[in-house]
Amino acid sequence: MKPPALELLPKPALLIGDERIAMSSGGHAQHIYAATGRPTATFPLAGAAEIDAAVAASVDGGRHWWGLAPERRRDTLMRLSFLLREHDDELTAISMIDTSTKVRRLGQVCADTVAYNAGWCDKLGGEVVTAGVSSGFDVAFGVPYGVVGVIIPWNGPLLIAANIIAPALAAGNACVVKTSELAPFACQRLGELCLEAGIPPGVVNVVSGGREAGDALVAHPHVGKIHFTGSTRTGRAVAQRAAATLTPVGLELGGKSANLVFADGDLELAARIGLTAAIGLNGQVCTAGTRILVEHSAYDTVLTRLAELMSGVVVGDPTDRDTQLGPVISEEAADRIVGIVSTAVGEGAGRLITGGRRLGGELADGFFISPTVLADVAPDSDVAQEEIFGPVLTVTPFRDEADAIDIANGTAYGLAGYVQTADAARARRVAAALDVGMVYVNGGLPAHPAGAPFGGVKASGYGRTGGRTGIEEFQQPKNVWMAQ
């Protein structure tokens, strides 16, 4: 196992305004490299005092930012986009250390997101309202919330942060970004690049922290909006806490996305999409279609191909060119995933085809799970209902279109859905019937388009990022009537 390039890590600190704070009231934590189980660096954690300082910096920075001409904000965000592209290799390497996931062109993907949202800065005009105005003049337009508290998880933290910060800033807000204690470094570097791009100090503050920091941010009276990405359980707690101050909340929560494979679809493509769902970001993707539903007549064919593909996955060092799957984020996560699979098999809720265990040998010190396929999974079983967040596919047969839709909609979640069929009319019907925020037909996406709304329904949350909808998520409407 190659050692990670620790020399690329930023000097661990909380970024508040233009200051890098190494000592904090929240103490310190140690980052663990999931591929080896060994520590990389110690970093400070924000406590309530640091959250208060970060919010104060955002209040001041946000006033300055919103006071700039839209063209100035647009050009500054474009400079950030250029810097993200320029630092692509560095950001990709830091992200790999953060989460031990094999990623490519991460800086460039974030750069595209920032550039897209930058283009909205000078296009957010209001509308004149004429009906019923009588002798007055009425205009409606959007204004920023002020300070947006952004709470992001450990899986893909850089990409998730960019997806939220970019529209929030384009809409005129400032941000306090709280990262997970499990993956602090890439987002800290993003904050530093924001300053290098000329974004005023305090507009983007980046702090790592646990529950104390999260609670302080959600409850802070000067935070205008919260955007939380993470588990449904924690999302509910965030919404409840924010309700005390009537702070609006956007929630991007978990998923249990179904991939509906009809017999007339491209079965090889469907199986490969399943493979990608299982190994992308080491199986730790909320939108991944890991719940595969297959029409009965094609079931054996797809199941056999899935088993072949998953058995052939190269598991190992995330820095190795040939590696396809790295470790999950922590030992706790690894043990939880193996326990879920073991329980499902023991209870007769699924038949183990391949995988389902921690890997040993030279991988024993890391948190590696063998690629896993569970067949004949009962739709109402825990393994089919709850998010696993690891390299595990569940496969379930269905009888017909109506049965497939019933099974797909039969969970609490509603983030994404996938449909594989050669019948265009069926694709439209099923896409319309799936109770989810996003549907992908005859394929999947390496990254969601920056111009398309991203988000879910039901227990997968509410609110959207992406497109104009994503900009409007971070503005509140204001109406001005003037007598003539």
Cβ partners under 8 Å of residue 386, min gap 6: 256, 340
**Would you tell me how many other CB atoms lie within 10 Å of the CB of residue 221?**
7
- According to DSSP, the residues that pair with 483 across neighbouring strands are 136
DSSP class of residue 420?
E
CA distance 36 to 166: 34
User: CB-side exposure of 239: number of CA atoms within 13 Å?
Assistant: 17
CA distance 363 to 365: 6
Task: Tell me the residue type at 213.
Answer: A
CA distance 23 to 12: 10
CA distance 158 to 160: 6
Alpha helices (H) along 119-263:
157-170, 185-196, 211-219, 232-243
Q: Active-site residues: which are they?
A: 178, 252, 286, 387
DSSP class of residue 252?
E
**Would you tell me how many other CB atoms lie within 10 Å of the CB of residue 229?**
25
CA distance 321 to 13: 31
